Structure 1
């Protein structure tokens, strides 16, 4: 395999932004042997804001491969703290319904709820970003090949046919620093300077809802809670609707006050009174504001994710209302889609056109997910505007209304908190590096999906006889699964070796746990678990298939923003 000279470059990839997306990208690139420099405005271990509260199963699967999943599972809420989602008239009021979710102790043994059946080695984990991000940061900082530049701003960049020249400025003083990288990736958030510099523009819906978020310390709140505790509390009453997340499981909470559609000015809404209406406490209840943030829920997707050697990922590429927890998680999926493509370039075995797959695959998916989230947000807004005035009444009519609202809330929200479809159902359609066979991938919704080996889909999970997850046995490049005894894969392995394409052969023909969906003798998967080809025998022109895998064969046309084909396949 030819590896390009490194003398002219200070780093292989310059990542702008050390949030969860940028750190995950750096971790995966470093694990593939690349040199990565990460520029971050904040100081080392400076706490992030309390934003994301959920790490999705697909993200945990990849954190498992990166060697950090176990450490993350030990962080966040206490082991025995319930992870349920509960709907009440106020946080301390009458319960309407409850969505059961296993706590950390029961996460791998509970099989009785809507969040327990998922076919994965790593189910979801409820943890706030203030605990998640420091673990990722510490892990990334310890990896060979990763250079963290904290309190550093990128002031601009220029690119040529071979690389990118970026200007970095230390915020604590000193002369500007020039860094030459092969590639640059902007993971620098919703106001991304990298996105603006490449001329990409957000398109979509600018305002869906407005939210006042307040991180509070309230030591006396836990003792006021009736019944079983929860991870997430929805308050539903005529005065104010909101959401409260348990942060440390003891005294810190994140309160989201969902403003009414007519409330367009944040400062015009009494934050303290709204918090008390959501919590269900009077003026005598004491709490401390740790931090506060006002934000607008949007549905925005960039019209391009790339300009030659410069890419964007995460909030820099897409923003939406964070229902189903898929803001940060979609960004991490971006990073892990892009990382192996960049590594293939630096390692010298991929055609430059292979990088076209990033935008071709991720832009349609983020467009889809953003519409799922927007649709759910609009349904929630409608539900908040229709709260009956007697929902708290201590009579038969009030009880009937609570039962009705509870039933509606469960049916609407179980799909976002138990969102198997968004985790395992999405697929890549029209990718230049996936060889389709004419069979359409099955449709999926936010909550449901059908396992499939159609090229573009996630390879269905199963446990190997030796106790490993199927994904534990995947190689760093492509993995060829042999499901039929004696299936001859020699022509494909020889063609891959001749082209320098990394290919691991994994014989699973004797695995009793292999799902019925594996009905082809040979199945080729990527490191991000997506199927790229399947067949009963190696194609006659194995070399042509390998050329497609390395991006050198003509593929499906892709125009940024054209997602009609993918949209038709989503239920």
Structure 2
């Protein structure tokens, strides 16, 4: 076996989660090797259709949010969610979502106002993943190796050696790193190797999905088209997603509980029935994207120097777009912890925070998704056969179902709670106080500076985003200029902890900011707050850098 290639972090999997992890590590000065078994550019899946607000914030920080926002549906194509009897049938209700052209100007809709500089973007994975790949390929701190299959790895006290094979040549390879991260999907080799087990509900729903080309479909849709259309035809329900806004589409046919395998259900018959077209309608199948909705969470996210993120760590029904986006949230949590360790200003013990923070949130978000899925399944199974009949009785049925569908689905398409409401309540590197973080739902969010919560966004007097002024490490927000901060600045300097001081004394203080000082972490969560510094700032800094022992940390 040849001598190993070296990088501080080895990433297995070059999907959106693995690429985002590599890009963020590079932004923090940490090189990585990304190993991907597929050939370069081979990933053409259309499974993800939504980039969440938190993910767009990450893209903004990394410098390419505008590039991602520029791709996808045409500028004026409605991003609405419609509920119809058939794709070409009657509209029962409509959830308005601004098109790309109006994303930052239309605010009087449920999805029109977000407490962030980067609201979500409805765009398919085939459009934005190449942007991530292009960024990774040209980044000098990222080494991307395609056609490489990882077979195993072994750990030592000071690193990990990852064993792999080049699928093109059969050459045996070895990669040596300080840490290994599995971003290698639901069948994760890394997860299995560390003995982690997926636990939960193996089957919630089965979905026969067809990615197809039909240039004539758009012209057959009455009224304005929509980014996503729920299709209720009585005894059957589906979901149509516009991919390019012109001729390519993704149709989900939700299989009934008693139906057999994907190929046992007549794909062509039900595709035509859900679209509302006859046998003369022409279309071409590009790919079958069938999938099983699950609620499975790994019982551990780490073993020694090895971690798992994304689908390797959790699989759930992708309501609210929280499949890929939850994986990227994992990666952004882990990235700064790895960088802090590799760059030498934090203790390796800081890495304990990854599982302590992400596992409870993963479990909680998966249950939100499952609860919504169960309500949606019950809704679909209750659609009466007369849903598309003529007459006042059918009109009344459609009105009732439309109202119920709006109330149910607006939660996942304007999900501020899932984006911004989650918090870390039991972290070893957060200095908590006596106040509890506010509760949240999929939809509802209350900005809060309780330690562990997301640092609330606001605009500065000059119109700039708070987030654009914060540093890459810890940021100390100072709302009273006369507040004594020198001891904390000195302790951070002595510890090597990167700290940016942001003087906000001339700004109008938002309601959520009730303390004169706030320390925001590199990932944008509140680490500490107060009106004055604690007596022992060295202990606070030690905790933030992962050096504090539990007894000391709890005393802060």
Question: Where in structure 2 are the equivalents of 1:532-547 lying within 5 Å?
Answer: 532-547=527-542
Aligned to 1:520: 515
> Post-superposition shift, 1:264?
3.6
Counterpart of 1:549 in structure 2 is: 544
Gaps of 5+ in 2: none
- Secondary structure of residue in 1 paired with 2:8: strand
* Contact 1:16-1:188 within 8 A present in 2 as well: yes
Query: Which residue number corresponds to residue 31 of structure 2?
Result: 35
**TM-score computed with the length of structure 2 as normaliser:** 0.97
Q: Is the 8 A contact 2:235 2:385 kept in 1?
A: no
Pairwise CA distance, 1:167 = 1.2
Give 1:170 shift: 1.2
Q: In the alignment, which of 55, 60, 65 is matched to residue 56 of structure 2?
A: 60
Q: Give the SS at the match of 1:401.
A: helix
- CA distance in 1 between counterparts of 2:106 and 2:525 reads 28
1:233 partnered with 2:234? no
Q: 2:525 aligns with which of 530, 540, 559?
A: 530
Note the alpha carbon deviations across 1:513-556, whole angstroms, 9 max, x for none.
x3111110100001211001000001000000001001111349
Q: Any stretches of 5+ residues in structure 1 without a counterpart?
A: 1-6, 558-571
CA distance, structure 1, for counterparts of residue 235 and residue 442 of structure 2 = 30
CA distance in 1, matches of 2:221, 2:44: 28
Q: Are residue 394 (structure 1) and residue 390 (structure 2) matched? A: yes
SS at match of 2:387: coil
- TM-score normalised to the size of structure 1? 0.95
CA–CA distance in 1 between the matches of 2:133 and 2:281? 37
Output one character per residue of 1:483-504: Cα deviation in whole Å (capped at 9) or x when no partner.
1231111111111111111111
Matching residue of 1:341: 337
| SS of residue paired to 2:326 | helix
- Alignment correspondent of 1:4: none
Contact 2:47 2:289 in 1 (8 A): no
1:437-516 → structure 2 map (5 Å cutoff): 437-512=433-508, 514-516=509-511
Counterpart selection for 2:153 from 146, 150, 157 = 157
**1:117-171 deviations in whole A, cap 9, x for unaligned?**
2111000000101111101100111112100101111111101110000112111
2:401 alignment partner, one of 399, 405, 426: 405
Contact 2:236-2:381 at 8 Å conserved across structures: no
Kindly report which structure 2 residues correspond to 1:210-289, keeping only aligned pairs within 5 A, or say none.
Answer: 210-289=206-285
**Conserved 8 A contact 1:118-1:420:** yes
Tell me, in whole angstroms, the C-alpha distance in 2 between the residues paired with 1:241 and 1:295: 16
Q: Tell me the distance in 2 between the aligned counterparts of 1:237 and 1:448.
A: 31
Q: Aligned pair in 2 of structure 1 residues 555, 225: CA closer, same or farther (>3 Å)?
A: farther
Q: Name the CA distance, whole Å, in 2 between partners of 1:144 and 1:488.
A: 41
Q: 1:95 aligns with which of 91, 94, 104?
A: 91
**Cα-Cα RMSD:** 1.3
| Displacement after TM superposition at 1:466 (Å) | 3.4
Q: Secondary structure at the match of 1:54?
A: coil
Q: 1:556 to 1:195 in 2, by over 3 A?
A: farther
Q: Distance in 2 between matches of 1:294 and 1:459?
A: 39
Question: In the aligned structure 1, how far is the partner of 2:170 from the partner of 2:147?
Answer: 12
Given that residues 416 and 442 in structure 2 are in contact (C-alpha distance below 8 angstroms), is that contact kept between their aligned partners in structure 1?
yes
Q: Distance in 1 between matches of 2:507 and 2:387?
A: 54
Instruction: Give the match's secondary structure for 1:26.
Output: helix
Note if contact 2:12-2:150 (Cα within 8 Å) is conserved in structure 1: yes
